[in-house]
Structure 1
Amino acid sequence: MDESQEIARVKRQLRQTRILIGGMFAVVVTGGVILATGGTAVAGGDGKARFEEIDVQRINVLEADGKPRMVLANKAKSPGVIIDGQDLGNAGQRAGIAFYNGEGDEAGGLGTDSGVVDGTKQAHGMLAFDQHKQDQTLVLQYAQNGTARSVGLRVQDRPEAGMTEYVREWKRIEQMPPGPEKDAAIADLKKRYPSPQRVFIGKEPDKASAVTLADGKGIPRIVLRVGANGDPRIQFMDADGKVTRTIKG
């Protein structure tokens, strides 16, 4: 190949490269497709990224001001409980979805897990909604430990005081040495921050379907049950939880 032929070949390659680059640019600008540059997806003209499939460890859904509204994450990347801008713990322990309110506080979540621990089958799943600046107050939950299973809807009271105050006191108590003083501090903390279960509707570990209504102290007062054998009954309890009357079907 003489010199004139080589020059012509190089010119053709340059012309083809310019056409290819120009075509790619036109597609990105007019078609809104995604270019992957160094592993980063860049949105096209309409600001939307479209994928057929994506592998990810965590997705953060944010408001325009940067506050979180939802986080979808695996266990290792899961966020801690955030209230009043403070991380109260549990980061890296809860695979699933965390919900947040407009203030950036955690407001509930969806999670599930299962496995075999020391030869025992265990599983749980939960959809929960939190009281403002507090813990879960409405819960749809499944829990299994071996052959014992419980599934149902739970309603819990929560104290008016926020979670940050409770966690601060709990962490202080945790540092105390075991003994009567620590036990008394735990009992006092539970008394000052009561969280009684008020309602349960579901299936209990003994396979009975049940509706339990409790008072403000969490003591069951009315229980409707249908045993696994089909026997129905309604029980009424006093303030100490003692059965005072039973109606059998």
Structure 2
Amino acid sequence: MEQYDRRGAIGTAAALFAGGAAMVAGAGPAQAESSGEQARESFRVVDRRGWQRFLASSTKPPAIIGGKTYPADQRQGPDGTYLIFNDEDGNEKGGITAASTEASFSLDYANGQAITMATRWQGANGATLLDMRQMPDPALPVEQLPPMPSRVQLGYSTPEGAFLVLSDSRGRPRIVLEIDGDDRPSINVLDAAGQVVSRLPDAPS
């Protein structure tokens, strides 16, 4: 059986989203004209109990999950602007990140990311991805979470086109729909080992 080559479907998108640290930094921001307003790095909204409900920050902030505060260096994501949304218990439930070469919006389960919509770009190449992850055991603290596999990935990259990947509970792609960079469509059904068991159109002999 044919072994499916995932590079054609998610090559550039995967490279861009996995290689954030290797991105070429864009030009520095233009200096804004002074308006007399006092500069501040963050703006925080708290409720009557003093619990955080919203945070706008120009630096990577700590994360509050399950009533515990995790330092900023344990948060994934670039240095940039962060808008963080918290629930009625002060726990983080989503946010928006904006940086010079990427931007993202995410919504969370009780103890981990659920949906991320993100884009990254480098020179003339760019990629965008909608990633839906499997829900972990909500009773587990963040430190004990196993890797949460992606179940649905819908994306596009400049040279390689558009794709939809549906994966099983172990994160193994099982159905891949693709329109590659040359506008050729394909549908591949895979077994657990990544072997193609069905393909449309049929692969050339």
Q: Is TM-score (shorter-chain normalized) higher than 0.5? A: yes
Tell me which residue corresponds to 2:43: 59
Measured after TM superposition, the shift of residue 89 of structure 1 is: 2.1
Deviation sequence 1:57-94 (CA, Å, 0-9, x none): 2111122222111100111xx43011233222226955
Q: Which runs of 5+ in 2 are unaligned?
A: 1-34
Alpha-carbon distance in structure 1 between the residues aligned to 2:81 and 2:50: 22
Aligned twin of 2:95: 109
Q: Which whole-Å deviations, capped at 9, do the CAs of 1:3-27 have from their partners, x for residues lacking one?
A: xxxxxxxxxxxxxxxxxxxxxxxxx
Q: Which amino acid aligns with 1:218?
A: G
Q: Deviations over 1:180-233 (max 9, x none)?
A: xxxxxxxxxxxx713000101120464320111111111111111001111011
| 2:138 matches 1:152 | no
Q: Which protein, 1 or 2, shows the higher relative CO under an 8 Å CA cutoff with sep ≥ 6?
A: 2
Aligned equivalents of 1:206, 1:166: Cα separation in 2: 36
> Identity over aligned residues, as a percent?
23
1:215 corresponds, among 168, 171, 179, to: 168
User: After the TM superposition, which residues 220-235 of structure 1 pair with which residues of structure 2 at under 5 Å, given as runs?
Assistant: 220-235=173-188
Cα pair 1:212 1:223 within 8 Å, conserved: yes
Displacement of 1:53 in angstroms is 6.6
Change (3 A) 1:205 1:199: farther
Q: How far apart, in 1, do the equivalents of 2:156 and 2:55 lie? A: 31
Task: Tell me how far 1:155 sits from its aligned partner.
Answer: 0.2
- Deviation of 1:113 after TM superposition, in Å, equals 1.0
Q: TM-score scaled to structure 2, two decimals?
A: 0.70
Number of residue-to-residue matches in the alignment: 164
Normalising by structure 1, report the TM-score. 0.59
Residues 37-186 of structure 1: pairs in structure 2 closer than 5 A: 55-75=39-59, 78-90=60-72, 93=79, 95-114=81-100, 123-132=101-110, 134-145=111-122, 148-161=125-138, 165-167=141-143
Larger of the two Rg values belongs to structure: 1
Q: Distance in 1 between matches of 2:44 and 2:126?
A: 33
Q: Pairwise CA RMSD of aligned residues? A: 2.7
User: What is the rounded CA distance, in whole Å, between the counterparts of 1:146 and 1:131 in structure 2?
Assistant: 34
Report the Cα distance in structure 2 between the residues aligned to 1:62 and 1:140, rounded to whole angstroms.
Answer: 27
In 1: Cα distance, 2:135 partner to 2:72 partner: 19
| Residue 11 (structure 1) aligns with | none
Distance apart, 1:235 and its partner CA: 0.6
Unaligned runs of 5+ in 1: 1-50, 115-122, 170-191
Q: Per the alignment, in what secondary structure is the counterpart of residue 235 of structure 1?
A: strand
Whole-angstrom CA distance in 1 between matches of 2:153 and 2:172: 12
Q: Does 1:195 align with 2:195?
A: no
8 Å CA contact 1:158–1:194 kept in 2: the answer is no
